Every structure is written in C-alpha cells, then in structure tokens.
Amino acid sequence: MRPLRPSSLPLPRRRAVLGAGGVVPALAALARPAAATAAPAAPSPVPSPGRRADPEPLPSDAAVAREVRAEFLHSWQGYRQAAWGYDEVRPVSGGRHDFFAAGHSFGLSAVEALDTLWVMELDEEVAQAADWIEAHLDPVADVDMPVFESVIRLVGGLLAGYLCTGRPELLTRCRELTDRLLPAFTASPTGIPYTRVNLRTGAVAGTAPPLAEIGSNVAEFGLLSRLTGDSRYVDAAKRAYRAVLERRSSLDLLGTTLHTETGQWLDDVSCAPNPPVDSFHEYLQVGGELLDDRELRDWYRLLTDAVLRHQLVEQDGLSWFRQVGAQDGRPRGTNQSELGSFYAGLLAKGGDLATARSYYRSWTALLDRHPVLPEQLDFATGEVRSARNDLRPEYANAAFDLWRLTGDEEYKRTAYRYFDALRTHLRVPGGYTVAEDVTGSPMRLGDLTPGYWFAENPKYLYLMFAAAPRFDYARGLLSTEGKILRGAVRPGA
C-alpha cells in the first residue's frame, strides 16, 4: 500500500469548453499526441479504418430523430403491454424478469425510462411511469440489493426523473432508498463498500467489490447531497474513492478488486477501461465536473495518464487497451469488452481527443465486420470471445460524447449506421431484444430488453439528432447509466 500524496498530484489538464450552441469543435484545439505506446503482441486483425468511399447520405436530422423516437416507443409499448410494473420485459415470449431479486420488482424499466420519455416529450408516458413509481417502488423491501446496480439505475433514475419533472415525491423516494443503501458504505471499516445490503434490515454482505462498484456513485450521491443539504452521501462516496487511490501502485495503476474489510487487493491486473473497472474512471471525470471537485479531477488525470502510458496499444491507426500487471506494468492480456468502447467518449471529455478518436475508430472498424458488436474480442487475434450482444449502449454513448465535443458529422453517420443495424437485427414485435450470437446470419436472438436500454441507446441517439429543446447541450451531463444529472431544461422551473 502506498500513501496518497495529494499535494503531489498533477494539476488537471485544460478542460473542454462548449460554446453557447453546445456543439463546437472546441476540443480540436486541445488535442494532444497520443501517449507513448508499447508494441502490440500481434498484428491487429481488425481491418484498418477509413471512411467508406461513398457513404450513404443520412436522412435529415429531424427524420432520424423521429425514427429513433418511434423505435424507443415501440420498445416502451412492448414493456407496457407485457411487463408493466415488472423490472424487465422478455419481448419475444412476453415474459418478465426480476432484475434485483426473484419475486421482487422495482419497476426498473419505468425508472430507467423516466428522463428518456421526458426528453422525447412523451409526457403522458412520463406521468404513467412516475405515478407507478410513486405508488409502488418500495425502498424498504426485504431484499438483499446489489448496491452498484441500485445506485446507477434506481437512485440515478429517480434523481433524473425528479430533475426533469420536478415531482418532489421522486426525490423523497430517492433519498429513502439511498438511506437504505448507505450502510454498505458506513459499515465498512475501510470505506470500500460492501456489494449488497438488505434494504429492510441493513445487513451487509459481499466483500469483494470491483472498482466500478466502489466508485460509481459519487455523481448520484454528490447530487443528492446537494439537493438535500445532507453531506453523508457525498462523504461516503469520496471516502470510497480515497480508499482506492491510497492503494494505487507505484506506477499509478490499480488492480481490479479490493477486499472491503482488509483493504487488500484481491488481484493485481489493471483491466481499464473494461468492466468491472470502467465507470470507476468515468465517475472521476463526471463527478469532478458535476460537483466541481478538484480532487476528483486530479485523480482522473493521474490514473488516466497511467492507463495511457502502460495499457494503450496503437497500430495502423487503431487503438486498443491491453491488460497489464498493476505493480510491474507487464502485459497480461489483450481482451477487449464492448463495454470499454464508452472510453472513447470519456477520453474526449478528459482532453485526450486524439486517442479518443482513434479508439472510436477501432470500434467503428469492427462494425464493418460485425454490424452488431460482439460482447468480447481479443484485439490481437481478432477472435470473438463472446458473440453475445446485450443491447449495449457504449458505442452510441461514445458517438454522442465525441459529436458533442467536436461537432464532427462522422459521429452522426457512424451512430446512425449502428442504430440501423440494431433495428435490422434486434427488433422484434414485442420490442428490442439481446442477441445470443451476432456472428451468425441471421443472428440468434435472446429474449430480454435490459432496463438500461430505456435509459441509454435511444437517448444518446435521439439527443444527437433531435436538437431537443429540453436538453441543454452546453451544460448537460449524463451519468454512466445515461441519466440526465444536469441540463434538463424545464420551462418555467
């Protein structure tokens, strides 16, 4: 373990500036050359990128926004008809799925959808969802809740719902739920949270949280502290982050999983930006921005520099991130999860625009081969390690972030192509579904609309094309689950 030396932490790099219109290529001027790299283990088999010689013209922005909204409504109606009040719908069979615990529903998809419905001006649907939540969501259910999922999905969803609609009951419910989750942090001797807590009894369990579960709460908790004037939430979140930073290696790298009670690393592999680490890094940037917190921003810069220094592999205009030992920086693997593709957007927001663009291009190049991205690949061999697709939003998330920062139409073009592929392959009469195997033709489909579908993919796509009057493109800030934590424009509020 290495003592933290806050005074020695570097100053944050220049920050992105958005103009009044929200879409200016401000970051282009801030781009810096990519960080020093190491040679990859083997030539990347992913074809080199390049704009298509003759790209198909896009429909007008307004037409695309209408298409996205219609597809979102199609999936929402699928949920309404087959699984209203349940967590998730199985759109092929018409079944339901309890996400958090068998036999208990928190109406997850309704919570996830609240701010997406609102920004799309589907006000009747917003009212139906909010009414259900206020009447039925039970924050003291006798359930061992997964803390991380509860925070990013339910706490974040209720916060965004409150900010969008102004309905005070949503904030009340959010606070009740967070109070019940808090023992996972306050009962910990190290500050590293337990992974589960029983909402009724407060009993905690689960002593091996990966980094994403330790840090992906500072945005929601920080905002809740602001809204309520109660600092317990942000204090718990910062304590957890500090506990991790204190345990960084001499290379400023982190392992993946820590023990809640001993504070020891349970492994020493730095696998960023892949899960289960991904949003740990994201929330240093998002939290730093939302809370105007210098310490979080400094930590983001420190850890990001180390990831770029030791993990970035560049070749043929593509960029990937290998796994390395946190203590020695030695290569440990070349696995790449689709969830890591969000990192292109995060790097852009953090000021590393050249690397951000290059990493995004890598995923776009992969789309030439797999129009719906597989969950996992080995970037050194091109082997698909998981052929599933769980209706993931990360590529669209990165497109949205990059487009918002650069104004480059290429991000719209590639995002539309991605949307069109999802519509072609994963749309079913009951909504949208995950795929078991995206490498076959036709793709083999599964039977689930994950709750995050209602929070993420359609929202990023819609915001890119709609010029939505309810979203402040200059100030808007979204959580890791796509929740609008800042920038909801409520007329008259």
Neighbours of 377 (CB within 10 A): 25
For the beta carbon of residue 490, count every other beta carbon within 10 angstroms: 11
The mark string for 261-280 relative to ligand DMJ (x by CB under 6 A, - otherwise) is ------------------x-
Q: Which is nearer to ligand DMJ, 252 or 282 (CB)?
A: 282
Residue 177 or 396: which CB sits closer to ligand DMJ?
A: 396
| Shortest separation between residue 157's beta carbon and ligand DMJ, angstroms | 11
Kindly report the number of other CB atoms within 10 A of residue 7's CB atom.
5
| Of 420, 394, 413, 416, nearest in space to 461 by CA | 416
Site for ligand DMJ in 387-416 (CB under 6 A): 392-393
218 Cβ neighbours under 8 A, 6+ residues apart: 234, 237, 238, 241, 283, 284, 287, 291, 296
Q: Based on CB atoms, which residue is closest to ligand DMJ, 195 or 480? A: 480
Helix (H), strand (E) at residue 427: strand 427-428
- Closest CB to ligand DMJ among 49 and 393? 393
Rank residues 238 and 392 by Cβ distance to ligand DMJ and give the closer one. 392
Q: Which of 252, 289, 298, 481 binds ligand DMJ (CB under 6 A)?
A: 481
Residue 211 sits in the site that holds ligand DMJ (CB under 6 A)? no
Within residues 300-339, the interface with ligand DMJ by CB under 6 A covers: 339
CB of 59 to ligand DMJ, least distance (A): 27
Please report how close the Cβ of residue 478 comes to ligand DMJ at its closest, in angstroms: 10
Report CA dihedral (392, 447, 78, 107) to the nearest 10 degrees.
-70
Closest CA to 307 of 287, 335, 278, 283: 278
CB of residue 389 to ligand DMJ, shortest distance in Å: 10
| 452 touches ligand DMJ by CB under 6 A | yes
Which residue, 310 or 392, is less far from ligand DMJ as judged by CB? Answer: 392
Q: Which of residues 149-168 bind ligand DMJ (CB under 6 A)?
A: 152
> Helix, strand or coil for residue 196?
strand
What's the Cα-to-Cα distance from 173 to each of 5, 103, 386, 447, rounded to whole Å? 39, 21, 38, 31
Helix (H/G/I), strand (E/B), else coil: 275:
coil
Q: Give me the least distance between CB of 282 and ligand DMJ, in Å please.
A: 7
Q: Which residues pair with 337 in a beta bridge?
A: 376
Give whichever of 49 and 275 is closer to ligand DMJ, judged by the CB atom.
275
Question: If we measure between CA atoms, which residue out of 393, 375, 376, 387 comes closest to residue 458?
Answer: 393
Site for ligand DMJ in 277-296 (CB under 6 A): 279
Q: Do 484 and 293 meet the contact criterion of CB atoms below 8 Å apart?
A: no
β-sheet bridge partners, residue 478: 484
Out of 150, 257, 285, 480, the residue judged to bind ligand DMJ by CB under 6 A:
480
* Binding stretches for ligand DMJ (CB under 6 A): 152, 279, 339, 392-393, 452, 480-481
